[in-house]
Structure 1
Amino acid sequence: MKITGDFHTHTIYSSGFLIKGMHAKSTIEENVEAAYKKGLQTIVISEHGPSHYLYGVRRKNLKLIREEVNRLNEIYSPKGLKVLMGLESNLVGLNGQIDVDENIIEMIDVLLMGFHYGSTPKSIREGMNLYVNSQIAKLSGYKLDEITEVITESYINAIRNFPIDIITHPGAKVNLDILKLAQEAEKRDVALEINSRHGNLNLEDLKLLKNANVKFYINSDAHSSKEVGNFELGLEIFLSSGLDKNRVVNAI
């Protein structure tokens, strides 16, 4: 089994209000060069969505990223490496709101969506449920089922309302009803990520999804060029599950 593309990588543009390079270390070109040297066929540059005050891409930089991706794609596509622009958007509302608009959607090639602490919520009430109550429930078990249902429905609303391609590291930061989410994702041709940085989806989750026909991506979630194409953890989790490798979109 071989992974042919890395659909989740970050660069210095995932820096929010921080100095570039404090969170993700490498330039777009460095990530692309690393992907080429590792023999990948596809790399997606997928910065954190703009609502994240620490790590989110600044909107003014989106055009620069698009231009750089286009320039590098012209160089590397004839060599067998497709370079795409993505965005790892943030879930910011209980009704499935994420931090993109039509202008951003039109600009990018791949839309990812994940859950991240530090994103600006749509309201104080939604922020309490997304970031405070969910953590209390996860740590203490208090109202865990109720909060898990609320967050899961938020994910489902997001994939109903936006053209999301991949849900990143589901279950890594907040509890989810992974089977319910997978069943809805399958209907809408949305894939779930096995993230080699966080280890989610984990083996327990994958075993629950044996009879769900949802597709997967195994990605690095690279925050430096050295991590691009590092799929070892994700591969280990998937191979241990015994699931059909044809369910992994970016694998042969």
Structure 2
Amino acid sequence: MPRVFGKEEFKMIPEFDFHVHTHYSDGLSEPVEMVEAATARGLRGIAITDHGPELSVGISPTKIEQMMNDVEIVNGDADIPVLLGIEANIIGLNGEIDIDEEILNRLDVVVGGLHNLASSAQIPKALAKDYLNTVMNTMKLQKIDILAHPFWFHEDLSKYLSQEDMEDFAKLAVRTGIAIELNTKYHSPSREVLTTCLREGVKLSLGTDAHTPSEVGDLTWQMSMIKKIGAKKEDLVLEEFL
């Protein structure tokens, strides 16, 4: 039976961190160290989501099986669920990603992240439009569960987009069942994006983008933003992946 939160308890206790990196990509620690940190912070679950291989700091294709086996072993020994995931890189304007379907089908959670945008646009508004179209093409095409740090590409690109753009994005997220991440590292997306997503019924996901054990589960910004936009427990992705 799902746990029932009291009003104050929900304000104070973040329960899951669905975006964590280890030494398999650009993190600094073993998966077991990140899980130990999550347990010590009182989380009820964590997802290991190292970068896919197309990013310069991503996991080597030859290490993917090793990473998956490592996470499986850690999960078997841990006191909390440890989800096997990846932060797949969006690598083309048409929505391609760098993880093949055979691997995707073996994962508990797939985070989609856009780090290199295949665009020649120089004007911020045009760049923002290319970002939006790329992300929406990915959402239509790929089996991803969470969109990482939405609209962050060296800066917050959402400020260059219209309200209609944001509504189209949010409606697509609802149709595809993709959650939108509240990201600790970049404090993204903006309050305006989150308010639109919440109004349209988009699920929200909590992720630190942690690269060290000390960063795991530090969801202070997310909990503050949740309060500001009036999100409730049912608006969040919490136990859906367990």
Structure 1 match to 2:65: 63
Structure 2 match to 1:5: 16
Measure the CA separation in 1 of the matches of 2:217 and 2:228.
Answer: 20
**Cα RMSD, aligned residues only:** 1.8
Paired residue total = 220
Tell me if 1:137 matches 2:140: no
How much has 1:89 moved relative to structure 2? 1.0
Please, which moves more after superposition, 57-66 or 102-111?
A: 102-111
**Aligned 1:45-56 pairs, distance under 5 A:** 45-53=48-56, 55-56=57-58
Q: TM-score, normalised by structure 2?
A: 0.85
Structure 2 match to 1:109: 108
Structure 1 match to 2:151: 171
How much has 1:147 moved relative to structure 2? 4.0
Residue identity opposite 1:239 in structure 2: K
How much has 1:27 moved relative to structure 2? 1.1
Structure 1 match to 2:223: 235
**Aligned 1:22-101 pairs, distance under 5 A:** 24-53=27-56, 55-76=57-78, 79=79, 81-101=80-100
Structure 1 residues 198-223: Cα deviation after superposition (integer angstroms, max 9, x where no partner): 10012122223342100001211101
1:44–1:86 Cα contact (<8 Å) kept: yes
2:146–2:178 Cα contact (<8 Å) kept: yes
* Superposed structure 1 runs of 4+ greater than 6 Å apart: none
Measure the CA separation in 2 of the matches of 1:61 and 1:178.
Answer: 38
Structure 2 match to 1:19: none
Residue identity opposite 1:198 in structure 2: Y
2:131–2:151 Cα contact (<8 Å) kept: no
Measure the CA separation in 1 of the matches of 2:77 and 2:198.
Answer: 41
How much has 1:243 moved relative to structure 2? 2.7
1:96–1:158 Cα contact (<8 Å) kept: yes
**Structure 1 unmatched runs, 5+:** 16-23, 122-126, 139-143
Residue identity opposite 2:130 in structure 1: V
Residue identity opposite 1:90 in structure 2: N
Measure the CA separation in 2 of the matches of 1:26 and 1:238.
Answer: 29
Structure 2 match to 1:199: 187
Structure 2 match to 1:156: 136
Structure 2 match to 1:245: 233
Q: TM-score, normalised by structure 1?
A: 0.82
The alignment partner of 1:204 has SS state of helix
How much has 1:193 moved relative to structure 2? 0.3
The alignment partner of 1:193 has SS state of strand
1:137–1:147 Cα contact (<8 Å) kept: yes
How much has 1:195 moved relative to structure 2? 0.5
The alignment partner of 1:8 has SS state of strand
